């Protein structure tokens, strides 16, 4: 029975389908990434976010990644933009995808303070484009092959679409599951707070003061994330699902500063369309050849199936890792990143450090504002692993100044989704003595619930 199922699935994924749906995705993705790269440079973020900080919050295991000089970083971004354009044109497609993936990921890994979910998604999609045959149609590579007398294949195995669809399904599913949370569903936070500040938005005219609006948007958002993929998969509901997605993502783009995220999502869900959709669309303007499946399709190598299975398994397991940690993930942020926990938290924090040394005996209060950029300070103040990392940095700084037995304690307070500020870190814990790891951090203080008396006191 199981063997039959696997065989059926394999036959389905080996089936040759129109390559032009994949090509459209490649073209749109490459163009969007090229524009996003240009925007990053023009906004001065290469300097402001990557080069100017004197200290960088590294990712565990990637401590060796460091920014280059400003001019070298501009070259990196120039190469990144060209790679994105090359990817869009389908010129040396896989090499371009690989270069874009490496350079984009490099920039993303320079400083943890700049982490964004949609940057992570862009990295993953670029990585997938290294492996899927997106150059099969509507690419300069295919044109060059044709000119060289090698007939390009206009079809790709459905597996190529499957892996992209699986990626997007993971994003939406985990974004939806993360919203099955008391704050989101029953307090409508953080949307209540955010919408209050969007009172002048033409989209919300007359509605923003209505208390049901953030609740409707919270529940609607959760339902959308949970069900949009099934609706996209079913042919009959697909147009409705896309219209819904367009409404949802454009609304998000209008109301909140999410950069190119909405457009990345909208272009990425085209992978759920019938693979011939671009041909039909273009066919309304010019004559395009209809898709005809190859009579004797090549089989997909078992290694490809194994790689896709492994990739999807990783993509499912990584967002689930939060379950291995105690406490509320949105508070502790253990298992928060790389897990599609999008738009879930509004946090603000204050953190200072007490440094004590035994030899010579001294005590210092360290105000991190003196070293960190505003963005780094804001991000660190609410993220325990960044606070730990900075504490280690302070230990090294004082060690280098000749102090011995340096201890570092954090005075960290965070206000989360409208709650009164609470201690985030155990003030007695010497963070200089901890080891950076993925292990549960026992020194993160538990989140206290919002009491009814606290809510009443607000009136």
Q: Does 235 bind other proteins (CB under 8 A)?
A: no
Select the residue interacting with other proteins from 416, 425, 431, 443 (CB under 8 A): 416
Q: Are strands 347-358 and 16-18 parallel, antiparallel or unpaired?
A: unpaired
**CB of residue 134 to other proteins, shortest distance in Å:** 27
CA distance 278 to 138: 10
Q: How many CA atoms lie within 13 Å of 61's alpha carbon, on the beta-carbon side?
A: 2
- The dihedrals phi and psi of 85, each to the nearest 5 degrees, come to -65, -45
Q: Does 402 bind other proteins (CB under 8 A)?
A: no
Select the residue interacting with other proteins from 227, 259, 321, 371 (CB under 8 A): 259
Structure tokens at 146: 């044709």
> What b/e readout covers 302-333, taking b as 16+ CB neighbours within 10 angstroms?
eebbeebeebbeebeebbeebeebebbbbbbb
Which of 31, 282 has the CB closer to other proteins? 31
**Which one of the spans 16-24, 97-105, 362-370, 444-452 is the region binding other proteins (CB under 8 A)?**
362-370
- Which residue, chain included where needed, has tokens 């994949």? 22
Provide the 3-class DSSP secondary structure of residue 366: strand
Which of 184, 291 has the CB closer to other proteins? 184
**CB of residue 250 to other proteins, shortest distance in Å:** 5
**CB of residue 150 to other proteins, shortest distance in Å:** 42
**CB of residue 366 to other proteins, shortest distance in Å:** 9
User: Bridge-partner residues for 408, per DSSP?
Assistant: 355
**Which one of the spans 12-20, 69-77, 416-424, 432-440 is the region binding other proteins (CB under 8 A)?**
416-424
Structure tokens at 392: 């280690």
Select the residue interacting with other proteins from 47, 193, 356, 434 (CB under 8 A): 193
Q: Does 378 bind other proteins (CB under 8 A)?
A: yes
DSSP 424: -
DSSP 273: S
CA angle (140, 142, 145) in 5-degree steps: 110
Structure tokens at 43: 């906004």
Contact by Cβ (8 Å): 170, 188: no
Burial of 236 (0-12, 13-18, 19+ CB in 10 A): exposed
Which of 4, 459 has the CB closer to other proteins? 459
Select the residue interacting with other proteins from 190, 278, 319, 384 (CB under 8 A): 190
Q: Does 210 bind other proteins (CB under 8 A)?
A: no
Q: Does 367 bind other proteins (CB under 8 A)?
A: yes
Which of 166, 414 has the CB closer to other proteins? 414
Select the residue interacting with other proteins from 247, 433, 438, 446 (CB under 8 A): 247
Provide the 3-class DSSP secondary structure of residue 328: coil
- 281: alpha, beta or left, given left = phi > 0 and alpha = psi -120 to 50? alpha
Which of 145, 423 has the CB closer to other proteins? 423
**CB of residue 348 to other proteins, shortest distance in Å:** 4
Contact by Cβ (8 Å): 32, 263: yes
DSSP string, 275-296: TTHHHHHHHTTS--PPP---SS
Q: Does 202 bind other proteins (CB under 8 A)?
A: yes
Which of 149, 402 has the CB closer to other proteins? 402
Which of 302, 374 has the CB closer to other proteins? 374
- 149: alpha, beta or left, given left = phi > 0 and alpha = psi -120 to 50? left
**CB of residue 349 to other proteins, shortest distance in Å:** 5
Structure tokens at 163: 């892996």
**CB of residue 20 to other proteins, shortest distance in Å:** 27
Select the residue interacting with other proteins from 82, 95, 140, 201 (CB under 8 A): 201
Select the residue interacting with other proteins from 7, 216, 362, 439 (CB under 8 A): 362
CA distance 276 to 330: 41
Q: Does 47 bind other proteins (CB under 8 A)?
A: no
CA distance 111 to 389: 12
Mask 78-117, x = binds other proteins (CB under 8 A)? ------------------------------------x-xx
**CB of residue 166 to other proteins, shortest distance in Å:** 23
Provide the 3-class DSSP secondary structure of residue 333: coil
Structure tokens at 88: 């869009």
Mask 48-77, x = binds other proteins (CB under 8 A)? xx----------------------------
Q: Which residues bind other proteins (CB under 8 A)?
A: 43, 45, 48-49, 114, 116-118, 190, 193-194, 196-197, 199-203, 205-209, 247, 250-251, 253-254, 256-259, 261, 342-343, 346-350, 352, 360, 362-365, 367, 369, 374-375, 378, 381, 413-418, 420-421, 454, 457-459
């Amino acid at each position: 029975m199981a063997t039959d199922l696997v065989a059926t699935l394999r036959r389905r994924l080996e089936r040759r389908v129109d390559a032009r749906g994949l090509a459209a995705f490649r073209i749109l993705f490459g163009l969007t990434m090229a524009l996003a790269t240009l925007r990053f440079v023009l906004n001065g973020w290469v300097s402001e976010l990557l080069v100017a900080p004197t200290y960088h919050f590294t990712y565990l295991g990637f401590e060796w990644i460091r920014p280059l000089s400003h001019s070298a970083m501009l070259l990196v971004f120039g190469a990144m933009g060209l790679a994105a354009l090359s990817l869009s044109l389908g010129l040396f497609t896989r090499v371009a995808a690989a270069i874009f993936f490496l350079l984009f990921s490099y920039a993303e890994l320079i400083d943890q303070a700049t982490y964004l979910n949609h940057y992570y998604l862009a990295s993953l999609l670029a990585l997938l484009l290294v492996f899927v045959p997106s150059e099969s149609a509507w690419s300069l590579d295919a044109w060059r092959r044709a000119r060289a007398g090698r007939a390009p294949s206009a079809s790709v195995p459905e597996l190529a679409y499957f892996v992209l669809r699986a990626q997007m399904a993971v994003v939406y599913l985990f974004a939806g599951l993360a919203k099955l949370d008391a704050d989101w569903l029953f307090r409508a936070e953080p949307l209540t707070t955010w919408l209050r500040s969007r009172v002048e938005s033409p989209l919300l005219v007359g509605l923003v003061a209505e208390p049901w609006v953030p609740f409707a948007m919270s529940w609607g958002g959760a339902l959308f994330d949970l069900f949009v993929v099934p609706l996209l998969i079913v042919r009959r509901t697909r147009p409705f699902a896309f219209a819904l997605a367009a409404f949802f993502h454009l609304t998000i783009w209008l109301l909140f500063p999410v950069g190119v995220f909405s457009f990345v999502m909208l272009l990425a869900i085209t992978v759920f369309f019938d693979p011939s959709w671009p041909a039909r669309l273009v066919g309304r303007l010019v004559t395009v050849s209809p898709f005809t499946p190859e009579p004797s399709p090549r089989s997909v190598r078992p290694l490809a199936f194994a790689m896709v299975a492994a990739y999807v398994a990783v993509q499912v397991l990584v967002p689930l890792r939060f379950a291995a940690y105690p406490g509320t993930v949105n508070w502790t942020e253990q298992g928060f990143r790389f897990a599609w926990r999008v738009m879930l938290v509004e946090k603000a924090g204050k953190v200072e450090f007490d440094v004590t040394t035994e030899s010579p005996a001294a005590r210092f209060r360290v105000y991190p504002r003196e070293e960190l950029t505003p963005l780094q300070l804001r991000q660190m103040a609410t993220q325990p692993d960044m606070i730990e990392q900075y504490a280690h940095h302070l230990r090294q700084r004082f060690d280098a100044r000749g102090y011995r037995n340096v201890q570092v304690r954090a005075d960290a307070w965070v206000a989360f989704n409208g709650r009164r500020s609470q201690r985030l870190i155990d003030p007695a814990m010497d963070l200089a003595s901890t080891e950076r790891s993925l292990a549960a951090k026992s020194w993160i203080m538990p989140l206290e619930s919002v009491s009814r008396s606290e809510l009443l006191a607000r009136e």
